[in-house]
Amino acid sequence: KQEVTQIPAALSVPEGENLVLNCSFTDSAIYNLQWFRQDPGKGLTSLLLIQSSQREQTSGRLNASLDKSSGRSTLYIAASQPGDSATYLCAVRPDDKIIFGKGTRLHILP
Amino acid sequence: DGGITQSPKYLFRKEGQNVTLSCEQNLNHDAMYWYRQDPGQGLRLIYYSQIVNDFQKGDIAEGYSVSREKKESFPLTVTSAQKNPTAFYLCASTIQGFRTENGYTFGSGTRLTVV
């Protein structure tokens, strides 16, 4: 059974620092991996989608990598800002459903 | 702009009452999903539908029902059989097939509270 783990569950860093969020999954048979952002009381906003054949995707200050063979993905955030404070979730798609991790709650300290 | 609309944003249910959460999308997506989110438990799949007039149970379908009469709409009914319905409910959609560039799109959610 596919399981997705995100460590740490919470993270606080000073503004301006670069940071990495981690996501691991137990079964490498996935079609894609998607990173989302969720603000308190809001829905999920898609940040980056990586197909199984891709190694990374970039959008602005965000870079996501995928190593399918080791079951790992990272989300790199450059030059963090207070507006980046949110919960970040990763999700893998092994079939017609996606499976989520529990997320990392990120707090950027001004 | 294309997207998913969930309504209402807040919903209050009395004990023993059925309530229906609305989810409408104008993305021309084939598949639609309902998730429940509780603090510390992540997102759990309730029901999903890959095509009109067809749907499948997810991991926590008991006490819920759905219909898919139109491609654009996937309403969720929380029945009185659901003993602990207080949660945040999220609807999502995606294009059918796995080699998609679009991934999943989510609505803004409905917060249901039992009073």
Would you place residue B96 in the very low, low, confident or very high pLDDT band (cuts 50, 70, 90)?
Answer: confident
SS3 of A11-50 = EEEECCCCEEEEEEECCCCCCEEEEEEECCCCCEEEEEEE
Q: Do B109 and A34 touch (CB under 8 A)?
A: no
Q: Are strands A4-7 and A19-25 parallel, antiparallel or unpaired?
A: antiparallel
Whether B97 contacts chain A with CB within 8 A: no
Would you place residue B99 in the very low, low, confident or very high pLDDT band (cuts 50, 70, 90)?
Answer: low
- Residues of chain A under the 70 pLDDT cut: none
Q: What is the pLDDT of residues B37-86, one digit of tens each?
A: 998 788 999 999 999 999 999 999 999 999 999 999 999 999 988 889 99
Q: Which long-range contacts (CB under 8 A, 24 or more apart) does B39-44 make?
A: B40/A102, B41/A102, B42/A89, B42/A100, B42/A101, B42/A102, B42/A103, B43/A89, B43/A100, B43/B90
Q: Do B107 and A43 touch (CB under 8 A)?
A: yes
Q: Do B42 and A98 touch (CB under 8 A)?
A: no
User: If you count them, how many residues does chain A have?
Assistant: 110
Q: What is the pLDDT of residues B62-73, one digit of tens each?
A: 999 999 999 999
Joined tokens for residue A77: 């955030």
Share of chain B above pLDDT 70, in %: 94
Joined tokens for residue A55: 């190694």
Query: Residue holding tokens 């209050």?
Result: B12
Size of interface A-B (CB pairs under 8 A): 52
